[in-house]
Amino acid sequence: MTRHEVFPQGARDRIEILEEENRQLRATIAKLVGGDDTETARLTLSLTEAEATIFTLLVRCGVATYGQIQSAIYDVDRLDMINDVGEAIRSHVKRIRKKLRPLGIDFTTIYSLGFEMDEACRARARLMLARAA
């Protein structure tokens, strides 16, 4: 049964309006918190959406905990399908490192906390993103 079969026409119209407002708000938030950098990183560095989100988080903040990364890349429905979220995040990180090390960008693991990118690598990454934008 689809939502069109469950809700009357007036409610369906309201849902569509709210979904569009939600999409617009998400786009605005993405611009405010570096979402454009995420898209730039995804396209120019050949990163997946999750990899680009993690990369942008590290560039912006310097340190990213497992919890912050989990919140940034997974929604509740997706989390239910993943057996070991920490292992999934480490897998993303491994692929990011493989793609970025040849470009002189790397970050370190902070045991049981998350990951850290030093200021020199963050500056290099910001410059790379600015040139690509």
**Residue-level length of the chain:** 133
Tens of pLDDT, residues 77-125:
776 777 788 899 999 999 999 999 999 999 999 999 999 999 999 999 9
Rounded Cα–Cα distance for residues 113 and 64 (Å):
8
User: What stretches of 33-118 show up as alpha helix (H) in DSSP?
Assistant: 35-44, 49-61, 66-73, 76-81, 85-100
Tens of pLDDT, residues 31-73:
565 557 888 999 999 999 999 999 999 999 999 999 999 888 8
Rounded Cα–Cα distance for residues 92 and 104 (Å):
18
Q: Count the helix, strand and coil residues of the chain and give each as a percent rounded to the nearest 5.
A: 75, 5, 20
What is the value of pTM for the model shown?
0.72
